[in-house]
Each structure stands twice: as C-alpha cells, then as structure tokens.
Amino acid sequence: MITRRSALAAAAPFLNLRAQNKSGRPNILWILGDDLGPQLGCYGHPLVHTPNADRIASEGTRFTHCFTTAPVCSASRSAWNTGVYQTTTGTHNHRSHRTDGYRLPEGVRLVSHRLHDAGYFTANMTEIAPGLRASGKTDFNFKAEKPFDGTHWNQRAKGQPFFAQINFTAPHKGPMWPVSRKQNRLVDPAKVELPPYYPDHPVVRDEVANYLDAVNYWDTQVGGVLDLLNADGLLDNTAIFVFGDNGRCLLRGKQWLYDPGTHIPLLMRWPGHVKTGAVRTDLTSAVDITATTIEIAGLPKPAPMHGQNLLAGRRRPYVFTARDRCDMTVDRIRAVRDYRYKLIRNFMPEKPYTQFNQYITNSYPTQRVIKELHAAGKLGPIPSRWMADRKPEYEFYDIEKDPHEVANLADDPRRREDFLRLRAVLDKWIEESGDQGRTAEPREVIEREEPRAGGKR
C-alpha cells in the first residue's frame, strides 16, 4: 500500500532547485497527448511500443499517480493552463463561453502570459519539423488575448528562453486512428486485456486495440520532438513535461471520474536537476505541472493557485476531480481520491450513465455493443450496471483491492469511517474552492446544445 511517508521518500531524487534557478533560466516544454492515459511501456503496459516516452522516463522521473481535474479536454485545459480548478473559475462546462467573451476571474492568468511577462518566448507549436505537425489546440472555456507569442521556439530572440506546448491529437478519436492502423507494428486485439465492465466482444477488443495503436503512433511523434531538440542543441537545457489532457477516450474513461477518465501519465526530464530513473508514487494533480513550471522559470507562486510545486517537499493527501456538462449532456459529478479510496458523488443520480451524448454515440462502438447485448439479454452482470436506469448518489471504491472500480462500498458498514471521512473532505473542497457547478447554467445555454441531440436526452 502506498503511504504518505513512502510518497515523501520518493521525492528524494530531486535536487534543491530554488537556489539553482538563480544561475539561469531553462527552456520549458510541455508535450501533450489528447486523451492519453498511462498506457505506456514505462508504466508496464505489455502491448504498446513507446520507446521515446520510455526514454524520457528513464532519463527523468515518472509519476505514477497523476490525475487531471476534469475528464474532458476543455475543462481540464482551462485548469492546468492556469493552475486553478475549472470549477473555481467558472470554466467547468465543456466548451462553454465560446461566444460570450467570458474572462477569467481577477488574479487568474494563463501560465503562458505569466512567463511572457517574465521574458520567456511562448509558443503553441504547430509545424514542428518537416512531416511533423501538432494541432495548436487550446480549447479554453474563456476568452484569452494572444495566449502565445508564436508557433515555434525558433521564432524567439537569440538567447531568449522559451516556454512551448506541443499538442498531439493521435490518441483522440478521429482521423489519427485509421492513420495509426497503417503502422508496421499493430496491437493484436486478441491479446488485449479487457476490464470487467466491458463485454468480451470483437468490436470492443478492436476499439481498445486501435486506441493502443494510436498511443504507439503518438510516441513516434514524441521521438520527432526529441530529435529536433537534440539537433537544435536544446535537449540538455530544457525541462520537459509529458502528460495527457485527460484520460483515455474509451467508454467509462473520458467524460467520467473513474480513474481511466482522469488518470494520466506524467513524465519529467530535466538533466542536472532531476535525477534519472526516479519514480514518484505520491498523488499529483495536473495543476501541479503549472505551479512547477512557474517556479522553474524563477517566478514566485501566485495567488490564487491550486497547483503545488512538485519539486518542493509538500505532498497532497487527496486529489479532486469534477465532471459537468459535456456537450448536450447535463450532469454534475465530483470525486475525491486518496491513496486507497475513491469517493464519487453523483449530484444528478436520476440521470443514467447512458443518457444521450452525441460524441459517445458516434465515437464509442463499445457502448453500442453493450446496448445490443443488453437488449438481447446477453450482457454479463458487471457490464449490465452501465445500463441502469439511474446512478447511485455515492460510489465508494477500494482502489487498492478494486482498481477497476466495480464494487461499490458506499453502504458497507466496514468502510463507513473512510466513507464519511472522504465525504467530509469532498464537501469541504466544494465549499472552500468556490465550486461554481452549484449554480446551474442558464436554460438558453443548454438549449443551444439540445438540437444536437436530435430531441433525445
């Protein structure tokens, strides 16, 4: 079992960085994968081939318990690009505030704006190298004036440090999935290990295998970035963070607060400052990447800032996650996780897991298979829970013994003390963080989304 003491001991591979920041400012690079879970070789996944991510892990530090604050891109990006929970800034509903000019609350700023003001050249990279392109995705749920200075680190002034983001979309459902199937090395669907909440069906196996193929393709893109850094003489003076914007885009992952929806890889490489081959097991939030980036750049931690510097000694006892409206699908779910237990509160238990969502309907063949098998009376007992008419108000899981989160212990008297403890922690976080999800969106905002549902809810 992971304890707070063992997590603190795992921080030992880091050197004292506060004094070292005075001697010069490093470049800082975020390499992202859309919908990238920890299905990488360095995390022990047997079917993927990710030598470039594995190299970064071996030359730096791998974080085993990193979670985004939301299970969908725009909400999570609105949080870790500022270091403040999306529920605090009112940016928690997926792809909200696209036309109303909504601004961040006073004192909350983009990390790129903070580093720009400190003399960094900021870039959201697109044309990285010949044949290597990134999306330039931002997806903020707020209006931001000129979030970046340019589109490549080579546009900076001579001697100027840079902060850059590279957003690769390969793991995300879309055009890169069929492209990934053109690789020489493909994942065999027959070898995929399915979680117990999936039926064992060829379509399901193929979807999971295709996701892993896309992860493999993403890794080849990461290799191209490393090659370019090396060719430009930047590899040893750049602090590299590799992570996902939210968890994997498979059913019961993305859009949900189970671990597959929020658990992401986090790799950090910074030669001379972070010892090689280290593994950190402490709980980490994606907003901690923001706080660490700011301190690496030599800036003091601003307020408000929910992220914590990963290179300092303090460690989190809990991580918090939140899901709100996703496209036309209105819901409100909150969760808190410690090293052993996860508590999920469904604030709208009357809404089933399968309430209509166009993205899931069009992009997740596993959901279609589950519905078909359920209608035919051929769905097993655990997958059948997905078809329930409503959700329980509370879900409580022993992650250590039940990593797939299928045995709800909310009513187990033997777990009552831990259940009440985490419920109190979650309630306190909702109150102290100023969770704006407590206020429903205006009806006219939701109605703009409903036509996409074809009249179905």
- Residue 452 pLDDT: 56
Chain-centre distance for alpha carbon 147 = 20
pLDDT tens for the 457 residues of the chain, in order? 444 444 444 444 333 333 333 347 999 999 999 999 999 999 999 999 999 999 999 999 999 999 999 999 999 999 999 999 999 999 999 999 999 999 999 999 999 999 999 999 999 999 999 999 999 999 999 999 999 999 999 999 999 999 999 999 999 999 999 999 999 999 999 999 999 999 999 999 999 999 999 999 999 999 999 999 999 999 999 999 999 999 999 999 999 999 999 999 999 999 999 989 999 999 999 999 999 999 999 999 999 999 999 998 779 999 999 999 999 999 999 999 999 999 999 999 999 999 999 999 999 999 999 999 999 999 999 999 999 999 999 999 999 999 999 999 999 999 999 999 999 999 999 999 999 999 999 888 887 776 555 433 3
In this predicted structure, what is the pLDDT of residue 19?
33
CB-based contacts of 22-26 (< 8 A; 24+ apart in sequence): 22/298, 25/119, 25/120, 25/161, 25/297, 25/298, 26/161, 26/237, 26/238, 26/239, 26/270, 26/273, 26/296
Q: Tokens at residue 418, please? A: 């831990």
Contacts with 329 (C-beta within 8 Å, 6 or more apart), sequence order: 255, 355, 356, 357
**CA dihedral angle for residue 385, residue 249, residue 35, residue 442, rounded to 10 degrees:** -70
Which strand ranges, in their side-by-side order, compose the sheet holding 162-168? 121-125, 162-168, 27-33, 238-244, 263-269, 61-67, 278-285
Pairwise CA distance, residues 327 & 141, whole Å: 13
Determine the Cα–Cα distance for residues 62 and 99; give it in Å rounded to an integer. 39
Q: What is the pLDDT of residue 443?
A: 84
Supply 183's token pair.
């690789």
Report d(CA 353, CA 256) in Å as an integer.
9
Q: Which CATH class is domain 4-316?
A: alpha beta
The percent helix, strand, coil of the chain (3-state, each to 5) is: 35, 20, 50
Domain ranges of the chain: 4-316, 333-453
pLDDT confidence of residue 313: 77
pLDDT at 323: 98
pLDDT at 24: 78
